[in-house]
Amino acid sequence: MKAAILAAPGTSPIYGDFGEPVAQPAEELITVNASALSHFTKARASGAHYSADRAYPAVAGADGVGKTRDGRRVYFVLPEPPFGALAEKTLIRSANCIPIPAEVDDVTAAAIANPGMSSWAALAERALLKPGETVLVNGATGIAGRLAVQIARYMGASKVIATARDEIALNELKNIGADFIIPFKLGDGHSAGEHEYEMALQEHFANGVDVVLDYLWGRSAQIAIVAAAKAGKETVPIRFIHVGGASREDVQLPGAALRSSAIVLMGSGINSIPPEKLLSAIRGVFQAVKPAKLRINTKTVPLSDVEKTWNADPGKSRIVFIVR
């Protein structure tokens, strides 16, 4: 079968032939239709992600959409190694397959499952979001952050605050659920831009923020935590949920920020949430696509173009490989 084959960690996949999988009991043989190129997929392919199998050669691709042998259209995640989603066929544990509503097409399902799950699971399982609460999304202009704004609103947030570097992209979020935006410019730790950002955050925290979804980590998250500690209300703990590390920076967090506040820091992702809860979050996202009018920009390419597409800049779109 044709597949995107990884020869070693840290290498890009090569389009070629790979042996077909044979299903065992409790496994599904999936004929793949589409699979998105996400940070999760690339991290697992490189061996850097903590869930990676790190056995090579292997087929790339962490999740996708396809059909079972009995014709059911399903979303699937975490193929059995050495198989992956970027192939004509793959092997999946039956428990890792979920049905896709008829109103959600293959490309949308493949593109929206992973980034949508990140905020849905964080809000539902870690933050335990209650209707009427206020949510701040740090790093709201990326694919996952944009969905987080929409999903927070759909799940009952009364106010959504969005932060990011790109002010033009932030303004666009006002059309899909953001009530307030906070653009920031970060420097060496002493810049006027950082001070302005902290002051703007403090004002919102003083007015009441219940949940922070952080997709950046690094300096912006550090400033947000400090601002929350300075302005937060003792009787209303702020649940700060770390979801992604797009900044590729660490946080140097002063202990006083935690000792002097009611901030609760936690992460959200594989191993911090049971697998069945993550799959349940994806079901929730699929069911919300139509009523919430969830939007995600996509760019479709054939699987045969995987070599020239793997490291290409997708811009504001999620690349989805079409397998058949």
Q: How far apart are CA 195 and CA 202, in angstroms?
A: 10
The answer to whether the beta carbons of residues 322 and 303 sit under 8 Å apart is yes
Q: How far apart are CA 89 and CA 68, in angstroms?
A: 10
| pLDDT, the chain, mean | 92
The answer to whether the beta carbons of residues 208 and 233 sit under 8 Å apart is yes
- Which domains, ranges and CATH numbers included, belong to the chain? 2-103+290-322 (3.90.180.10), 116-267 (3.40.50.720)
Q: Is the pLDDT of residue 4 over 70?
A: yes
pLDDT of residue 143: 93
Rounded mean pLDDT, 127-140: 97
Q: How many residues does the chain have?
A: 324
pLDDT of residue 234: 59
Rounded mean pLDDT, 151-180: 96
Q: How far apart are CA 192 and CA 44, in angstroms?
A: 39
pLDDT per residue as tens digits for the range 26-49: 899 999 999 999 988 988 887 666
One-letter amino acid for residue 82 of the chain: P
DSSP-derived secondary structure letter, 205: H
How does residue 273 score in pLDDT terms, banded at 50, 70 and 90? Answer: very high
